[in-house]
A and B are shown apart, each in its own frame.
Chain A
Amino acid sequence: MPEIKDLVKGLAEAHGRTRESLIPILQGVIAHENYISDEAMTEIARELDISAAQVYGTATFYSFLDTQPRGKYVIRVCKTITCAMKGKSLIIQELEDLLKIKLGETTPNRKFSLLETNCLGWCHKGPAMLINDEAYTELTPEKVREIINEYIRK
């Protein structure tokens, strides 16, 4: 995979080749590829001259460093207590209906992935979700429909 090789090399050059640059590099791979493949991990290990096991160990520790293929837009719905109280289940149901996938799945066109996540820090404005880095709050099924339609058009 020459593209991955170039991507990792570019990131290593930007962030440096020390252990401290590992997470910024992994985050950089996510920004481009939406997930960190085995090839990317071995490539990073080679660039930083550490074992692939260390790269794997670090990557799999963090919930935002996905090691499974994800869509272009990763939707993370907050499932922690206040969002749960304010109707998170309805939001997930709506998303499942709209995207025709179940929680944890990715659409066949690789555009959307639907996940749950822990507290996003919007407890006063729940239910909340992230689409990639963007936060959406005080969600209702109607609002979710509008947001998703906008992303579908993108």
Chain B
Amino acid sequence: MSYTQLKRVDLIFDTEATTKDILQTAWSKTNEQIVNELLESGLKGRGGAGFPTAMKWKFTSEQPEKERFVICNADEGEPGTFKDREILFKVPQKVFGGMAVCAKVIGATQGFVYLRGEYRFLLKELQKQLDDFHGILKDLGINFSISIVMGSGAYICGEESALFESMEGKRGEPRNKPPYPTIAGFRSKPTVINNVETLVYAFMITKHGAKKFKDLGTADSRGSKVFSISGDTPKAGIYELELGMTVEQFVEEFGDGDTKAVQVGGASGFCVPRKKFKDTIIGFEGVPTGGSMMLFNSSRSMYNVLHNYLEFFEEESCGQCTPCRVGCQQLMKGIEAVKKGKKHAAYLEQLMKLSQTMKITAKCGLGQSVANSFSSIVENFKEEMIY
């Protein structure tokens, strides 16, 4: 097997066309054209949840309420994800450009970038780039402006409704859904909230048309994706790759020769053990990912890995709903008890049930997704949990 198996793509970081050119192309199109192109391209949200971007834009544009917002979710907090930082560092104007195109489609005049507190060191340069961008908008006669809002160290604020709460000056506690942000988002107004990477793809699709993007990937996972690769790999870093590869192909290229498991999608994603590498596709038809790919070799204890995840969730749970607040604590206490021999190994079954209960009953994606890593690690590495 050769290294050329995975197709490298350069849509995100390519700076061939200027922001101004692409904006002009966008403004020469009608809103319907832009939405149809996005729809045709099959672009799905790159934050992890994978909602079709075109539909978000379309639903928001159809709301009776005329005051609308576009928000860039730059609260990248998922363990193992760091691609948004790189995108904001290297091609910030493309992110702003994507927001402007979205604003045109939905009829917004105000946009916000919610930047995680951990990335405050980016703020100065980002603000400078933003000033330049506002200059370009002014030249083109486009009525749209963006402000940067800083987060303050809360993973949960990456959840869209928690992010709105945070922007409104409150605790970052997720809201009940529905209503979805397209109907009632920031300040209860129709809001499009997209991940950093999604906005850049939307911008590039406006430039290239749908075909270039659609020709990449598979039926369920169109296009390419920026992957954040870390853990036991000689090639840790950021790579834009075509979607649709299997974990096996991925490991051949990025593994250290001794990979025993790959965590796809971060702590809230799935753990794929070696025996399933071959049959698991990285994408919406297999294991979805916001880009986080963590490799573990056989020297790693999967108990420690899971314990680290649970500690993360326990601390980052907003504490609002009981299944998540208590569930995370109990799962952690539970695996500790089994490991120490205070509980019988069969207790793991009960913990699995608890994680499934959380999946059904937790209020937001955080509590619901704890079961993903929990059950995929416990099922596949049971001995490591017990002995």
Closest to B187 in A: A20
Complex interface: stretch among B52-60, B99-107, B176-184, B228-236: B228-236
When A82-B231, A124-B229 are in contact, do A62 and B172 touch as well, CB less than 8 Å?
A: yes
Total interface residues on B, using CB and 8 Å? 50
A146-B167 Cα distance, complex, nearest whole Å: 38
When A18-B169, A19-B168, A81-B308 are in contact, do A120 and B230 touch as well, CB less than 8 Å?
A: no
Contact A119 B78 (CB under 8 A): yes
Chain B stretch 325-376: residues in CB contact (< 8 A) with chain A: none
Whether A73 sits at the interface, judged by CB under 8 Å, is no
Whether A121 sits at the interface, judged by CB under 8 Å, is yes
Chain B stretch 270-326: residues in CB contact (< 8 A) with chain A: 292, 294, 300, 304-305, 308-309, 311-312, 315-316, 318
- Residue interface bits A76-88, CB-to-B below 8 A is 1, else 0: 0001111011000
CB-defined contacts of A34 to chain B, threshold 8 Å:
none
Whether B251 sits at the interface, judged by CB under 8 Å, is no
Contact B169 A23 (CB under 8 A): yes
Whether A125 sits at the interface, judged by CB under 8 Å, is yes
Contact B77 A119 (CB under 8 A): yes
A46-B320 Cα distance, complex, nearest whole Å: 27
CB-defined contacts of B208 to chain A, threshold 8 Å:
none
- Residue interface bits A54-94, CB-to-B below 8 A is 1, else 0: 00011001111100000000000001111011000000000
Question: Contact partner of A120 among B118, B170, B172, CB < 8 A?
Answer: B118
A18-B82 Cα distance, complex, nearest whole Å: 33
Whether A135 sits at the interface, judged by CB under 8 Å, is yes
- Shortest CB-to-CB span from B370 to chain A, Å, is 15
Chain A stretch 113-151: residues in CB contact (< 8 A) with chain B: 117-126, 130, 133-135
When A24-B150, A27-B152, A81-B267 are in contact, do A125 and B312 touch as well, CB less than 8 Å?
A: no
CB-defined contacts of B308 to chain A, threshold 8 Å:
79-81, 84
Whether A11 sits at the interface, judged by CB under 8 Å, is no
- Shortest CB-to-CB span from A56 to chain B, Å, is 10
Whether B257 sits at the interface, judged by CB under 8 Å, is no
Question: Contact partner of B312 among A21, A22, A63, A80, CB < 8 A?
Answer: A80
CB-defined contacts of A119 to chain B, threshold 8 Å:
77-81, 155, 312
- Shortest CB-to-CB span from B267 to chain A, Å, is 7
A61-B118 Cα distance, complex, nearest whole Å: 16
Whether B135 sits at the interface, judged by CB under 8 Å, is no
A117-B118 Cα distance, complex, nearest whole Å: 10
In the complex, which of the residues A23, A24, A84, A119 has the most CB atoms of chain B within 10 Å of its own CB atom?
A119
CB-defined contacts of B312 to chain A, threshold 8 Å:
80-81, 118-119
Whether A41 sits at the interface, judged by CB under 8 Å, is no
Whether A45 sits at the interface, judged by CB under 8 Å, is no
A124-B232 Cα distance, complex, nearest whole Å: 10
Whether A95 sits at the interface, judged by CB under 8 Å, is no
Contact A64 B153 (CB under 8 A): yes
A23-B115 Cα distance, complex, nearest whole Å: 13
- Residue interface bits B204-236, CB-to-A below 8 A is 1, else 0: 000000000000000000000000111110001
A20-B305 Cα distance, complex, nearest whole Å: 38
- Shortest CB-to-CB span from A122 to chain B, Å, is 6
Total interface residues on A, using CB and 8 Å? 36
Contact A121 B152 (CB under 8 A): no
- Shortest CB-to-CB span from B76 to chain A, Å, is 6
Whether A40 sits at the interface, judged by CB under 8 Å, is no
Contact B170 A19 (CB under 8 A): yes
Whether B199 sits at the interface, judged by CB under 8 Å, is no
A133-B115 Cα distance, complex, nearest whole Å: 13
A118-B80 Cα distance, complex, nearest whole Å: 11
Closest to B304 in A: A84
Contact A64 B169 (CB under 8 A): no
Whether A8 sits at the interface, judged by CB under 8 Å, is no
Contact A133 B120 (CB under 8 A): yes
CB-defined contacts of A63 to chain B, threshold 8 Å:
152-154
- Shortest CB-to-CB span from B72 to chain A, Å, is 16
Q: Which residues of B contact A (CB under 8 A)?
A: 76-82, 84-85, 116-121, 150-155, 166-173, 228-232, 236-238, 267, 292, 294, 300, 304-305, 308-309, 311-312, 315-316, 318
Q: Which residues of A contact B (CB under 8 A)?
A: 18-24, 26-27, 57-58, 61-65, 79-82, 84-85, 117-126, 130, 133-135
- A-B pairs with beta carbons under 8 Å apart, 20 shown: A19-B169, A23-B152, A23-B166, A58-B169, A62-B172, A80-B308, A82-B80, A82-B230, A82-B231, A84-B304, A117-B118, A118-B77, A118-B316, A119-B155, A121-B116, A122-B82, A123-B81, A123-B82, A124-B230, A133-B121
The 4 closest A-B pairs by CB, nearest first: A64-B153, A124-B236, A22-B169, A123-B230
